[in-house]
Amino acid sequence: MLLKLKFLIVGVWNTCFGYVVFLALDALFGRLIIEKFYPYMIALLLSQVIGILNSYLTHKFFTFNKNQQRISVEEFSRFTSVYVGIILLGLILVPLLVEVFEFMPRIAALLIIPLQVIISFKSHKNYSFKT
């Protein structure tokens, strides 16, 4: 139970952090790039990369209590591979929600978060950090 609570606390932080980074990058690229599709897609991809680095560190040292260990290339690779799937899911679902169902990019990105949380928890617990 404590593990799930810690995961949720870190998850809320990481989600807020990643979403704020997405909003900032979307606003920046929205001013720099005229086409509708590119600003939010570039912002989505970059915010995912920044969010993964933040997420790895917070989950490693807080959620899964790996304080005694150094950062491992193998562990980081497993962790990152989980997010490759999550990023691909976002790169498919966000444009689908925006282009087909006409959601605003900010809302579309927000709507896929619950699915990403479930996939992330199960994958990190059973694969990335093997707790």
For residue 7, is pLDDT > 80? yes
Report the pLDDT value the prediction gives residue 68, as an integer from 0 to 100. Answer: 62
Task: Please report, for the chain, the start and end positions of each structural domain, with discontinuous segments joined by +.
Answer: 2-128
Mean pLDDT of the chain: 87
The whole-number pLDDT of residue 95 equals: 93
Residue with tokens 């807080």: 62
Distance of CA 63 to the CA centre of its chain: 16
pTM of the model: 0.69
Question: Which residues have a Cβ under 8 Å from the Cβ of 129 and sit 6 or more positions away?
Answer: 59, 60, 63, 64, 66, 75, 79
For the stretch 43-77, pLDDT in tens is 988 998 899 899 888 988 888 876 666 777 888 89
Q: Which residue has the tokens 């991809």?
A: 45
29-48 pLDDT, tens digit per residue, is 888 887 777 888 899 889 98
Joined together, the tokens standing for residue 99 give 């282009």
